[in-house]
Amino acid sequence: MTKRTVVVEDLGLIDSRSGTTILDTVSVGLDSGTVTGLTGESGSGKTMLMKALLGWLPRTVHRTSGTIHIAGQSVLDLDPGALRALRRTQVSFVGQDAGSALNPVMRVRALLAETASDATAVEHTLARVGLPQSLVERRAGELSGGQQRRLALARAVLRDTPILIIDEPFGGLDAQARRTVADLLRSLAHDCGKTILVSGHDVPTLDALVDAHIHLGKDFESTPAESRATVAPIRPNRLSASGIGLARGGRTILSNIELTARTGCVTAVLGESGAGKTTLARILAGLEPSAVGQLTLESRPMPLSGRRRGKQITRIQLVPQDPLSTLNPQRTIGQILERPLTRRGIRDRARRAETVAQVLGAVGLNPELVTRRPSELSGGQRQRVSIARALSYNPEVLICDEVTSALDPDTANTIMALLASVAHESDMVVIVIGHDLDLLARHCAEGIVVHEGVRLAAGPVADLLPHFRYQPTGSDNTGSP
């Protein structure tokens, strides 16, 4: 028999600094033994509602109405000690920036043992989130974004609390990993009686998983743009990489990767979680000093490691999949975006402010956000700020690692169309890493498939899609060419 474990009545939240309404009289009821899906456009308040359930409201966010009750306790009225006890015993939370919550130097085994109520359950839980036992001796910072996300979920599961709140668990995961996580959540609810609230933009996965839906509506901040043709125009290669490899701790991460990217085009890098896509992006951006191989830009050699100097540093910009870890929490969005403009030599304050407003508008964000800090934005908004910051450097190459994973479909399509437009109009090279194959096929001309650290296939993205779509049950969602 189900039991109502979470009750939200007429909850209203407002940003006291800007006067913006974040949530307007939201009422929600969550039952034990069920999975509830929380959907809505990027910035509609999904993450804020989830954090409100744990009493985690930013200082500038105030309650205007309503109550939240968990296990019979009024969450927003508890003293700090009682609130900590409630979080410790009743609720586990996994944020969408899961990697930022993991100590990067701790090994996987220690991170799991830290939260496990039963030490014998560690290996079993690791398998349930689709991670191999071979990862237990690796440090969290050595994992891919999708692996970090599943590690954070495993830690929450091991805490064995009756309520589990998960923000965007499917972002950055390949199709097989999404199925594995969905199966786990379904089992925890239906077989173990847990109350689960999960947000996301992967509508098909959520529809197949959840028992009930909650949708937070909000006016969308931009409109979907028309996608460009994916037939590769005859444009010259601008970026070429060959023999790219990296070994860490005696283990080969990447081996002999080749990649070419054309001026004015969007190039896709595809592959399952943990295949080495993020490592490749970091190597191209000069963030892996131990990398080997050759990289040329405009037919001129570019150092692979931190030896880049002067303008070389800004010629290739990386937009990471975990923006919270790279946006200074003490600075406002305006200050964050003005820094690259200052480095470009734009000294006039009025011109910088005007440029900041323009670049925010270009990624579908309201210029009024300049006074907020990263923690006051949704995950999707932070991702777009990260893109805006990279564009502010006016780079020749823009590498985007899972930049649409935290966005609703319309916003994701808008961002990809923006990237295609920027590439075409600015003669820029844009490289996009992702798992949304249909989205990438609409906007990317060419791409490569990375599988277990090697290049598996290359060519027009449309020709690569069959390698992902027709896989036997239990396989990775890449295949042989």
Render 430-459 in DSSP notation, one character per residue. EEEE-S-HHHHHHH-SEEEEEETTEEEEEE
What's the Cα-to-Cα distance from 108 to each of 130, 132, 177, rounded to whole Å? 14, 11, 18
Residues 399-444 pLDDT 10s: 999 888 777 787 788 888 888 888 888 889 999 998 877 788 888 8
Q: Record the pTM.
A: 0.67
Residues 187-243 pLDDT 10s: 999 999 999 999 988 778 888 899 998 888 743 233 333 433 334 445 788 999 999
Length, in residues, of the chain: 481
For residue 462, pLDDT beyond 80: no
Q: What pLDDT sits at residue 69?
A: 95
Residues 21-38 pLDDT 10s: 889 889 999 999 999 999
Q: What pLDDT sits at residue 470?
A: 34
State the chain's maximal CA–CA distance in angstroms. Answer: 68
112 φ, ψ to 5°? -75, -40
Residues 53-101 pLDDT 10s: 999 988 888 999 999 999 889 999 999 999 999 999 999 999 887 777 8
Q: Which domains does the chain have, with CATH numbers?
A: 4-216 (3.40.50.300), 237-469 (3.40.50.300)
- Distance CA(404)–CA(432), nearest Å, equals 10
Q: How confident is the model at residue 478 (pLDDT cuts 50, 70, 90)?
A: very low
- Distance CA(66)–CA(7), nearest Å, equals 10
Q: What pLDDT sits at residue 332?
A: 94
What's the Cα-to-Cα distance from 59 to each of 17, 21, 77, 318, 393, rounded to whole Å? 10, 15, 15, 31, 32
Q: What pLDDT sits at residue 306?
A: 61
Q: What pLDDT sits at residue 226?
A: 40
CB 218 within 8 A of CB 45: yes
CB 200 within 8 A of CB 27: no
**Which of 46-55, 290-299, 303-312, 325-334 shows the lowest mean pLDDT across its residues?**
303-312
Higher pLDDT, 479 or 348: 348
